[in-house]
Amino acid sequence: MFEDTQRKEIEELGEFGLIKNLTESLQNKVPSTIFGVGDDAAVLGEGTKKTLISTDMLVEGVHFDLSFHPLKHLGYKAVVVNLSDIVAMNGTPEQIVVSLAFSSRFSVQAIQELYEGIRLACEFYQVDLVGGDISSNRQGLAISITAVGTSEEEEIVYRKGAKENDLLCVSGDLGAAYMGLQLLEREKQVFLANPEMQPDLDGFDYILQRQLKPEARLDIIKELKKAGVRPTSMIDVSDGLASEIFHLCDASNVGMAVYELKTPIDPATVTAAEQFNLDPMTCALNGGEDYELLFTIDQKDFETVRKMESVSIIGHVTQKEAGKVVVTKNDNQFDLKAQGWKHFG
Note the pLDDT of residue 139.
Answer: 86
Whole-Å CA distances, 198 to 41, 104, 144, 185, 284? 42, 29, 33, 14, 29
Note the pLDDT of residue 17.
Answer: 63
Q: Is the pLDDT of residue 275 over 60?
A: yes
Q: Is the pLDDT of residue 341 over 60?
A: no
> What domains does the chain contain, in order, with CATH numbers?
10-155 (3.30.1330.10), 159-335 (3.90.650.10)
pLDDT, average across residues 195-222: 91
pLDDT in tens, 89-116: 999 999 999 999 999 999 999 999 999 9
pLDDT in tens, 136-191: 998 899 999 999 999 999 999 999 999 999 999 999 999 999 999 999 999 999 88
The pLDDT-based confidence of 340 (bands split at 50, 70, 90) is low
Note the pLDDT of residue 345.
Answer: 44
* Residue of higher predicted confidence among 62 and 263: 263
DSSP for residue 166: P
The closest alpha carbon to 88, from 45, 54, 123, belongs to 54
pLDDT in tens, 22-56: 656 666 665 667 767 677 888 998 888 999 999 99
The closest alpha carbon to 213, from 77, 71, 60, 56, belongs to 77
Can you tell me the distance from the alpha carbon of 106 to that of 116, in angstroms, rounded to the nearest whole number? 15
Note the pLDDT of residue 250.
Answer: 94
For 187-244, give the DSSP string: HHHHHHH-TTSPP--TT-HHHHHHHHS----HHHHHHHHHTT---SEEEE-SS-HHHH
Helix (H, G, I), strand (E, B) or coil at 279: coil
Note the pLDDT of residue 118.
Answer: 97
The pLDDT-based confidence of 4 (bands split at 50, 70, 90) is low
> Taking a C-beta distance cutoff of 8 angstroms, is the pair 87, 140 a contact?
no
The pLDDT-based confidence of 197 (bands split at 50, 70, 90) is confident
Note the pLDDT of residue 199.
Answer: 76
pLDDT, average across residues 268-282: 96
| R_g of the chain, CA atoms, integer Å | 20
Average pLDDT, the chain: 90
Q: Provide the H-helix boundaries in 49-204.
A: 71-87, 108-125, 176-193
- Residue 214 contacts by C-beta under 8 Å, 6 or more apart in sequence? 77, 80, 81, 177, 289, 290, 291
Q: Is the pLDDT of residue 343 over 80?
A: no
Among 164-178, 183-197, 269-283, 286-300, the least confident range = 183-197
Note the pLDDT of residue 115.
Answer: 96
Note the pLDDT of residue 22.
Answer: 60
Can you tell me the distance from the alpha carbon of 234 to that of 10, in angstroms, rounded to the nearest whole number? 28
